């Protein structure tokens, strides 16, 4: 399956103009094409009208969508080089490869049974470490690699691509390349897939009403991260503008 997945990556990149030989060898040329094609020189920021459209699709207020964006994202959804922001989750990759304890491993920073290893540029080569890990992991299994990173402004796991309605994990990731609207569309898909629409529409300046969305979106750590209170503060700011 991993060989078929390496071929699928090369075929996908060729639809974007890579011009690769489709041989299943995800070596330097394929990895360079991936890194280059997934970069946008001037990614388009989302507009107020586009946020309004997303809100209408979710039957919510634009302020509620913007409040989630303010709390969940940390600035732009893009790195300085133009690639979408990702966060490598080495334990997801470990599970997808079904690695057994004591077996021969890829680099420990790429696959490990425990979460962690979150670095920005440990080797100081100017390339984001999560992208370096993704590129290295693609040499083994690109589908598992793309599924093992969280993507974009809202850090949605690639492993959710099917339930979110994308034709492939590569298409899911590519949807975030050109601009921020793709990131918001992924957020909307996640909210619909996880039936969080009513919870989104309940977001207000009262933290108690935000707990359902906080729990559904942020998981078990929502109390520790004061997620409901952060949403309330964000809503207060949005409504005062």
* 154 has pLDDT over 70: yes
Q: What is the pLDDT of residue 105?
A: 52
pLDDT band at 122 (very low <50, low <70, confident <90, very high): confident
Domains of the chain, by residue range, sit at: 2-37+86-151, 47-77+160-241
Distance of alpha carbon 61 from alpha carbon 164, whole angstroms:
22
Q: Distance between CA atoms of 193 and 15, rounded to whole angstroms?
A: 28
Q: Quick one: pLDDT at residue 10?
A: 97
Q: Is 64 exposed, middle or buried (0-12, 13-18, 19+ CB in 10 A)?
A: buried
Q: Return the pLDDT at 224.
A: 76
- Sheet strand arrangement including 149-151: 86-88, 149-151, 156-157
Q: What percent of the chain has pLDDT over 70?
A: 95
CA 136, 140, 141 angle in degrees (round to 5)? Answer: 105
pLDDT digits (tens, 9 = 90+) for 155-174: 999 999 999 999 999 999 99
**Residue 101 pLDDT:** 47
């Amino acid at each position: 399956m991993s060989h078929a997945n390496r071929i699928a990556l090369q075929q996908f990149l060729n639809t974007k103009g890579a011009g690769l030989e489709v041989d299943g060898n995800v070596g330097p040329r394929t990895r360079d094409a991936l890194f280059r094609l997934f970069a946008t020189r001037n990614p388009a920021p989302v507009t107020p009208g586009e946020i309004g459209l997303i809100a209408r699709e979710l039957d919510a207020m634009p302020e509620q969508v913007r409040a989630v964006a303010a709390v969940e994202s940390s600035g732009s959804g893009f790195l300085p080089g133009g690639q979408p922001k990702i966060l490598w989750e080495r334990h997801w990759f470990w599970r997808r490869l079904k690695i057994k304890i004591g077996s021969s491993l890829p680099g420990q920073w790429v696959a490990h049974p425990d979460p962690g290893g979150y670095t920005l540029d440990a080797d100081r080569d100017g390339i984001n470490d999560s992208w370096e890990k993704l590129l290295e992991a693609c040499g083994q299994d690109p589908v598992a690699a793309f599924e093992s990173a969280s993507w974009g402004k809202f850090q949605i796991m690639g492993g959710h691509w099917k339930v979110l309605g994308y034709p492939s994990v590569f298409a899911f990731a590519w949807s975030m390349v050109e601009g921020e609207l793709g990131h918001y569309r992924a957020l909307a898909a996640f909210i619909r897939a996880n039936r969080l629409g009513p919870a989104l529409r309940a977001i207000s300046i009262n933290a108690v009403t935000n707990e359902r969305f906080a729990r559904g979106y942020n998981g078990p750590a929502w109390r520790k991260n004061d997620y409901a209170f952060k949403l309330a503060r964000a809503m207060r700011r949005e409504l005062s503008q």
